[in-house]
Amino acid sequence: MAMTARQLQAFALVAKLGSLHAAAAALGVSEPAVSAALAALRRDLGDVLFVRAGSGIALTPGGRVLAIHAEEVVGLVAAIRRDVSQAQRSGQGLRVLATAAFAEHAAGRLLDVFARRHADIPLEVVVEGSSEIAALLTRRSYDIALGARPELAAMAGVESVPVLRYRRVLVAAPSHPLARFSGPAPAPALLEHQWFAGPRGIEKATEEGRWLAAVGRPPDVVNLTSETDALAAVRAGEGVMLALEHVVRAELGTDALVAVVAAGTPITGMWWASTLDRGRSTGQARALQRFAATAEATAAMVARRGSRGLAQRGSKVHVALWS
């Protein structure tokens, strides 16, 4: 008997959750039903796929390969169902994932310009963390991701195009103890003070996350509702943060903010536009990916006037407006 989408869905959940019981609960079926689906896959593929390991499971090499493909097939089936159900509706939208920092500082202006060029494409935008980008694209939960680059993008079947280079500088109020160092502040001094960040914190998949990991033990980071709020706390002398240089440039060296000298800073990073590779992305997603890499898009994202953040896109509101 040929494998079915339901069997692949059951295996994908077992591989992700690590147990038949958890997979059965997620599917709303009995554990014997999941076991039967896995047994059918094992017979069909001639591979045991996984073995018991302690309180969980360990995938065989064949099981690891199947897990990757099963996740993709499950996403494709969901996309087919969604597309068929919406086929008779006009204006099917482009689903955009934006990581938090990009959403706050660049996405609004980028999507405003893109929407003027493509008024026929409704945009639905949701802010997500960077760690799940590849999985969300593979499952076709979103058509394109803007911001941080997915971890192991090529291995996950994701194509990423660079769209905007940025720099982050460590900033503090002039009265803050770290502002008094004439040379680079030592790592122990950096780590003993309060740090601030936006809602997702300092994400590991970013250049600033990798820089912070190399410094030593992680500092105490308070995540606020936006980087704008985090910067306000820093101006008030409550701590430090890694701010985007082009956002704070006019304030550096004034009575509002100073740059704290630290080894490895300023930190240069890149924001990306990521879609599924090998022609598996939609035409709308590829259109936005191409546009995001143009000079016109870059000029819009770094412009000093207008709202950088996201408001209403298309028919849905998924994120707040940052100004």
Domain-embedded: residue 320: no
The dihedral through the CA atoms of 105, 163, 141, 65 has a sign that is negative
Q: What pLDDT, on the 0 to 100 scale, is given for residue 307?
A: 56
Domain-embedded: residue 307: no
d(CA 241, CA 17): 36
Average pLDDT over residues 78-89: 63
Reported as a single tens digit per residue, the pLDDT across 42-73 is 999 999 999 888 778 889 999 999 998 888 88
Reported as a single tens digit per residue, the pLDDT across 215-236 is 877 888 999 999 999 999 999 9
d(CA 187, CA 143): 41
The more confident residue out of 198 and 215 is 198
Same domain assignment for residues 12 and 157:
no
d(CA 216, CA 263): 13
The dihedral through the CA atoms of 207, 208, 209, 211 has a sign that is positive
Same domain assignment for residues 156 and 290:
yes
- CATH code at 115? 3.40.190.10
Average pLDDT over residues 200-226: 88
Instruction: Give the end of a domain, one of 49, 65, 85.
Output: 85
- CATH code at 15? 1.10.10.10
d(CA 223, CA 89): 40
Same domain assignment for residues 160 and 276:
yes
Same domain assignment for residues 113 and 157:
yes
Residue 318 has pLDDT above 50, yes or no: no
Confidence of residue 315 (pLDDT cuts 50, 70, 90): very low
Same domain assignment for residues 261 and 276:
no
Domain-embedded: residue 202: yes
How much is the mean pLDDT over the chain?
Answer: 85
Reported as a single tens digit per residue, the pLDDT across 243-269 is 999 999 999 988 899 999 988 999 999
Residue 323 has pLDDT above 50, yes or no: no
Domain-embedded: residue 308: no
Strand partners of residue 258: 172
Same domain assignment for residues 255 and 280:
no
Residue 108 has pLDDT above 80, yes or no: yes
Average pLDDT over residues 89-108: 82
Same domain assignment for residues 142 and 276:
yes
The more confident residue out of 153 and 165 is 165
Same domain assignment for residues 158 and 172:
no
- CATH code at 211? 3.40.190.290
Q: What pLDDT, on the 0 to 100 scale, is given for residue 218?
A: 81
Confidence of residue 316 (pLDDT cuts 50, 70, 90): very low
Dihedral of the alpha carbons of 2, 67, 37, 81, in degrees to the nearest 10? -70
The count of structural domains within the chain is: 3
Instruction: Give the end of a domain, one of 244, 268, 292.
Output: 268
Domain-embedded: residue 204: yes
Show the DSSP H helices in 60-205 as ranges.
61-85, 100-102, 108-117, 133-138, 187-191
Q: What pLDDT, on the 0 to 100 scale, is given for residue 289?
A: 95
Confidence of residue 152 (pLDDT cuts 50, 70, 90): low
Q: pTM of the full predicted structure?
A: 0.69
Same domain assignment for residues 244 and 255:
yes
Q: Which structural domain range is residue 205 located in?
A: 165-268
Phi/psi for 318 (5° steps) reads -120, -15
Same domain assignment for residues 130 and 276:
yes
Q: What pLDDT, on the 0 to 100 scale, is given for residue 213?
A: 86
Q: Under DSSP, is residue 77 helix (H, G, I), strand (E, B) or coil?
A: helix
Q: Could you check whether the bond before residue 266 is cis, i.e. omega within 30 degrees of 0?
A: yes
Non-local CB neighbours of 160 within 8 Å, separated by 6+ positions: 149, 150, 153, 272, 273, 274
Distance (Å) of CA 273 to CA 37, 65, 155, 202, 292 = 37, 26, 17, 20, 7
Same domain assignment for residues 23 and 49:
yes
Domain-embedded: residue 219: yes
Domain-embedded: residue 311: no
Same domain assignment for residues 67 and 206:
no
Instruction: Give the end of a domain, one of 85, 102, 128.
Output: 85
